[in-house]
Amino acid sequence: MPDTTLARAAATRTEHFDVVIVGAGISGIGGAYHLTHQMPDRSFVILETQESFGGTWLTHKYPGIRSDSDLHTFGYRFKAWKGKPIATAHEIKTYMGEVIEENDLARHIRYRHRIESASWSSKDNLWTLEGVRTDTGEAVRFTANFLWMCQGYYRHSVGYTPEWKDMETFKGRIVHPQTWPEDLDYTGKKIVVIGSGATAATIIPAMADKADHVTMLQRTPTYFIPGRNAIELAETLRQLEVDEEWIHEIVRRKILHDQSVFTRRSFEESDKVRAELLAGVRAHVGPDFPMEPHFTPSYRPWQQRIAFVPEGDLFKAVRSGKASVETDEIDRFVPEGILLKSGKVLEADIIVTATGFNLSVMGDIAFAVDGKPVDFADTVTYRGMMFTGVPNMIWVFGYFRASWTLRADLVGDFVCRLLDHMDKHQARKVEVALRPEDKDMALLPWIDPENFNPGYLMRGMHLLPKRGDKPEWQHTQDYWNEKNVFPAIDLKDKAFVYG
């Protein structure tokens, strides 16, 4: 029988664009805005696997889903955020929808388009993308001069759940926040949430009112910052009837200044910062709560992401008795719940595995350059957005200690400046390469584990590009430096090879 997949692909019409943006999440919509306003004559399309825009804020539907970054900095620099700093997924999607409508971006987006391969031809100086429409099964093909990867960093289809012993014996239901079932009724149920990060801190207070009881089971505790879901400066400026665009810019600058100071102090005065963070939690859980072991991490502040807890709702749930914390390790699952290594059994009707992401490098797309498969682990990154040996492509990977969107905006400006530079010099191809002075440079893992070490990165480090020991050959995670460095990147530097 003929290979119908090949036959269908052979008959597929090819569409060409100057730029293909992969992903209609926060980075992709931002990239489309920058192209529209900085390079209005450039043709482009956004290819999105999901049925709508939003990325994380579309995929995740667990109770209480909200940002863990303030929207004054997680929001785009070009559109004022007027609501509370910590926002729900619905509020964030509404904001993104306004950006799409106000800038006529909807006509550029193709939903339910899953890209399966991306191949670069040096002969044609083109990317060819092969994919499928998930609603019809129809094969699709696009060619592009430039590829802008805005698909994020984790696999949307399934979250990370460790394989614990005897999971199959549990008589209740096991769910992961990333694939939350619509039919899950937890009213009056005993719930165990495994995890201690921002997702667990969101789910637990959201479920506590309807559930019989919610237990947060953690192997190690996490740092949190509880506080009002409001920015006092923004409230004052609104009382003074200052224009919202001005408020947005002023408040962004104030938050970024404060974050810069806090980040520096977390390295230089880690013991003081640690004491301040623990005192903030203590004020909410009360003087008699056992901070050790439940809310006293062993690592330095900012070695992993710190979640803001609006109104201290997680700690209020614990103090009220509707929620509790267990700090222990899992021995195995049992029919009635989880047996801990201490010998205690946590009874549960529902177990929520808030245990993190599966890292996805470049959206699990099969990349090739001139017929040779690309293993990104064999490449070296240029400022965390370009890779040696991979022409005409940019990847958006945001910040750990600041809002993702801050870097998406910086990269958006850089892409437009790079494309304009190529036009002026009649270049159809650009890639990065180590310069003569870089040949003996030490090549290191993508991120220094002593600097930042969340589980999803540690599990997937072998998949990520290498970094060098010079700032231009690494993702420094330092917005406060990059906001000045990126606009000043010398496009004539020998690291850029044009053709």
State yes or no: pLDDT of 298 exceeds 80. Answer: yes
State yes or no: pLDDT of 5 exceeds 60. Answer: no
Task: Kindly indicate the confidence band of residue 456, based on its pLDDT and cuts at 50, 70 and 90.
Answer: confident
- The contacts of residue 253 (CB under 8 Å, 6+ apart) are none
Per-residue model confidence (pLDDT) at position 2: 43
Per-residue model confidence (pLDDT) at position 11: 57
pLDDT digits (tens, 9 = 90+) for 341-353: 999 999 999 999 9
Per-residue model confidence (pLDDT) at position 307: 87
Per-residue model confidence (pLDDT) at position 38: 98
Torsion of CA 388, 45, 397, 357, to 10 degrees: -110
State yes or no: pLDDT of 185 exceeds 80. Answer: yes
Per-residue model confidence (pLDDT) at position 454: 75
Burial 62-89 (b: 16+ CB within 10 A, else e): bbbbbbbbbbbbbbbbebbbebbbbbeb
Q: What is the mean pLDDT of the chain?
A: 94
For range 310-332, the mean pLDDT = 96
pLDDT digits (tens, 9 = 90+) for 138-169: 999 999 999 999 999 888 888 999 999 999 99
State yes or no: pLDDT of 234 exceeds 60. Answer: yes
State yes or no: pLDDT of 51 exceeds 60. Answer: yes
pLDDT digits (tens, 9 = 90+) for 357-377: 888 889 999 999 999 999 999
For range 484-490, the mean pLDDT = 97
pLDDT digits (tens, 9 = 90+) for 64-80: 999 988 999 999 999 99
How far is the CA of 85 from the CAs of 248, 253, 307, 408, 432, in angstroms? 11, 14, 13, 19, 38
Helix axes 198-208, 313-320, angle to 10 degrees: 50
Start-to-end Cα distance in the chain: 44
- The contacts of residue 147 (CB under 8 Å, 6+ apart) are 19, 20, 22, 118, 127, 129, 392, 393, 394
How far is the CA of 119 from the CAs of 127, 162, 424, 429, 498, in angstroms? 5, 34, 26, 14, 19
Q: How many CA atoms lie within 13 A of 55 on its CB side?
A: 24
State yes or no: pLDDT of 112 exceeds 70. Answer: yes
Q: Which of 323, 348, 328, 326 is nearest to 338 (CA)?
A: 348
Alpha-carbon Rg for the chain in angstroms: 24
Helix axes 270-285, 313-320, angle to 10 degrees: 50
Per-residue model confidence (pLDDT) at position 10: 55
Q: What is the DSSP letter of 88?
A: B
Q: What is the pTM of this model?
A: 0.93
State yes or no: pLDDT of 87 exceeds 70. Answer: yes
